Amino acid sequence: MQPVITAFDWVPDFARGQVRDLRVRWALEEVGQPYRVRYLAQGEQKAPPHRARQPFGQVPTYEEGELVLYESGAIVLHLADSRDGLLPDDRLGRARATEWAFAALNTVEPPIMDHAIATLFEADQPWSRPRLPAVEARIAERLGEVAARLGEREWYDGAFSAGDLLMVAVLRILRDHPLLAAQPTLAAYVARGEARPAFRRALADQLAGFTGSPPPGFAEWIAKRAARAEQLA
């Protein structure tokens, strides 16, 4: 039986190609595991049936037989552990790939999400603009550190791994931002990840899945929010 993941049938344009089911789709493609998708309309993620799968009311989830998993990192690591292709065979190599996966999710992603909160989710709040310089400085510091550790290597530790998959997925949140362009080796690392056939298939499939409609009142809500953000500028 094919595993089933959850994904949204609609998100705003800025989120297309970034929703976290992409990481899971990418891992599934890398290991050659066919899968099915249960699409959720906006709002459905907070209803009891999905909450039973995902306590925070978010996507993605992963169901395989009696296993129901949430957290994209845990799902990617489960796929890497249970199939060939995303973790080296040796114990120490597996530990290093896991280290890079946690570095991505635990150390690099939080300041990048702070940036998304300040510029998107809470862009209309008075605290966001004053906070931005500090958030950007923290991201710049982290990117410099990641670039220093990666050096000139193609991937973190030999062959492409689940750690690289998650690090690229996190860094590409900044794909159009000058902060990433300021680190050419990282920008090239992201481009290498995005050039992988498995990534391209995963991205195309995520984009093709947005066949739904925005929730009622979305256009009015976004316009009001933009007007408030404009006033604060």
Ligand X SMILES: N[C@@H](CCC(=O)N[C@@H](CS)C(=O)NCC(=O)O)C(=O)O
Considering the rule CB under 6 A, would residue 19 count as an interface residue with ligand X? yes
Determine, following the binding rule CB under 6 A, whether residue 6 of this chain makes contact with ligand X: no
Select the residue interacting with ligand X from 29, 63, 64, 71 (CB under 6 A): 71
Distance from C-alpha of 172 to C-alpha of 174, rounded to nearest angstrom: 5
| C-alpha span between 113 and 135 (Å, rounded) | 10
> Considering beta carbons, is residue 17 or 93 the nearer one to ligand X?
17
Contacting residue, 58, 98, 161, 206, with ligand X by CB under 6 A: 58
Q: Is 87 left (phi over 0), alpha (psi -120 to 50) or beta?
A: beta
- 59 is a contact residue toward ligand X (CB under 6 A): yes
Closer residue to ligand X in complex, CB, 103/183? 103
Q: Which is nearer to ligand X, 77 or 183 (CB)?
A: 77
Report the residue number whose CB is nearest to ligand X: 58
Interaction pattern, residues 28-57, with ligand X; x per rule: CB under 6 A: -----------------x-----------x
Which residue in the set 53, 72, 165, 210 belongs to the binding site for ligand X (CB under 6 A)?
72
According to the binding rule CB under 6 A, does residue 20 interact with ligand X? yes
Applying CB under 6 A, the site for ligand X has a residue count of 10
Q: Smallest gap, in angstroms, from Cβ of residue 63 to ligand X?
A: 14
Residues of this chain that interact with ligand X (CB under 6 A) are 19-20, 45, 57-60, 71-73
